[in-house]
Protein backbone atom coordinates (compact mmCIF):
# COMPACT_ATOMS: atom_id res chain seq x y z
CA UNK A 1 0.00 0.00 0.00
CA UNK A 2 1.16 3.49 -0.78
CA UNK A 3 0.01 6.02 1.78
CA UNK A 4 -1.99 8.95 0.54
CA UNK A 5 -1.38 12.47 1.67
CA UNK A 6 -1.27 16.10 0.70
CA UNK A 7 0.94 17.39 -2.11
CA UNK A 8 1.79 21.02 -2.86
CA UNK A 9 3.40 22.03 -6.15
CA UNK A 10 3.55 24.74 -8.80
CA UNK A 11 2.30 24.18 -12.34
CA UNK A 12 2.86 26.33 -15.40
CA UNK A 13 -0.43 26.48 -17.30
CA UNK A 14 -0.06 27.34 -20.99
CA UNK A 15 -2.92 29.41 -22.39
CA UNK A 16 -3.16 30.42 -26.06
CA UNK A 17 -4.38 33.97 -25.62
CA UNK A 18 -2.86 34.83 -22.25
CA UNK A 19 0.48 33.02 -22.38
CA UNK A 20 1.53 30.97 -19.40
CA UNK A 21 0.15 31.30 -15.90
CA UNK A 22 1.80 30.02 -12.73
CA UNK A 23 -0.64 28.01 -10.64
CA UNK A 24 -0.22 26.86 -7.05
CA UNK A 25 -1.78 23.46 -6.50
CA UNK A 26 -2.71 21.57 -3.33
CA UNK A 27 -4.02 18.03 -3.79
CA UNK A 28 -5.14 15.48 -1.20
CA UNK A 29 -4.81 11.87 -2.36
CA UNK A 30 -6.36 8.78 -0.77
CA UNK A 31 -4.34 5.65 0.09
CA UNK A 32 -3.43 3.60 -2.95
CA UNK A 33 -3.06 -0.13 -3.55
CA UNK A 34 -1.20 -0.72 -6.83
CA UNK A 35 -2.41 -3.37 -9.26
CA UNK A 36 -0.93 -6.85 -9.05
CA UNK A 37 -1.42 -8.90 -12.21
CA UNK A 38 -0.19 -12.24 -10.89
CA UNK A 39 0.78 -13.38 -7.44
CA UNK A 40 3.98 -15.38 -6.94
CA UNK A 41 2.07 -18.65 -6.85
CA UNK A 42 0.47 -17.92 -10.24
CA UNK A 43 -2.95 -16.92 -8.96
CA UNK A 44 -4.53 -13.87 -10.56
CA UNK A 45 -3.90 -10.58 -8.82
CA UNK A 46 -6.20 -7.60 -8.32
CA UNK A 47 -6.81 -4.21 -9.91
CA UNK A 48 -5.52 -0.99 -8.43
CA UNK A 49 -7.63 0.58 -5.73
CA UNK A 50 -7.73 4.07 -4.32
CA UNK A 51 -5.34 6.83 -5.25
CA UNK A 52 -8.16 9.23 -6.05
CA UNK A 53 -7.57 12.92 -5.68
CA UNK A 54 -10.10 13.77 -2.99
CA UNK A 55 -9.50 17.51 -2.90
CA UNK A 56 -7.89 19.68 -5.57
CA UNK A 57 -7.31 23.36 -4.85
CA UNK A 58 -5.78 25.63 -7.48
CA UNK A 59 -4.86 29.28 -6.94
CA UNK A 60 -3.37 31.93 -9.19
CA UNK A 61 -0.28 33.94 -8.24
CA UNK A 62 -2.45 36.67 -6.71
CA UNK A 63 -4.14 34.15 -4.39
CA UNK A 64 -7.53 33.92 -6.11
CA UNK A 65 -8.99 30.46 -6.53
CA UNK A 66 -9.59 28.87 -9.92
CA UNK A 67 -13.18 27.72 -9.85
CA UNK A 68 -14.30 25.77 -11.76
CA UNK A 69 -11.15 23.92 -12.78
CA UNK A 70 -11.33 22.85 -16.45
CA UNK A 71 -11.64 19.06 -16.78
CA UNK A 72 -8.46 18.56 -18.82
CA UNK A 73 -6.45 20.66 -16.38
CA UNK A 74 -7.90 18.81 -13.37
CA UNK A 75 -6.93 15.49 -14.96
CA UNK A 76 -3.36 16.69 -15.66
CA UNK A 77 -2.96 18.12 -12.14
CA UNK A 78 -4.33 14.94 -10.53
CA UNK A 79 -1.86 12.77 -12.43
CA UNK A 80 1.01 15.12 -11.58
CA UNK A 81 0.03 15.00 -7.89
CA UNK A 82 0.03 11.17 -7.90
CA UNK A 83 3.49 11.12 -9.50
CA UNK A 84 4.90 13.58 -6.94
CA UNK A 85 3.41 11.60 -4.04
CA UNK A 86 4.86 8.31 -5.33
CA UNK A 87 8.30 9.93 -5.73
CA UNK A 88 8.22 11.18 -2.14
CA UNK A 89 7.69 7.67 -0.75
DSSP the chain: -B--EEEEEEEEEEETTTEEEEEEEEEEE--EE--EEE-TTS-EEE--EE--EEEEEEE-TTS-B--SPPHHHHHHHHHHHHHHHHHH-
> According to the model, what pLDDT value does residue 28 have?
95
Residue 42, domain extent: 5-88
- Count of the separate structural domains present in the chain: 1
Contact indicator for 55, 27 with CB cutoff of 8 Å: yes
Instruction: Please report, in tens digits, the pLDDT of each residue of the chain (89 residues total).
Output: 678 899 999 999 887 777 888 999 999 999 987 778 888 888 888 887 888 899 999 999 889 999 999 999 999 999 999 889 888 87
pTM of the predicted model, to two decimals? 0.76
Amino acid sequence: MIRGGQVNFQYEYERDLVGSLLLYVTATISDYHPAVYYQRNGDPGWPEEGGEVEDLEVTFEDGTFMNPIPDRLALALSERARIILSEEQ
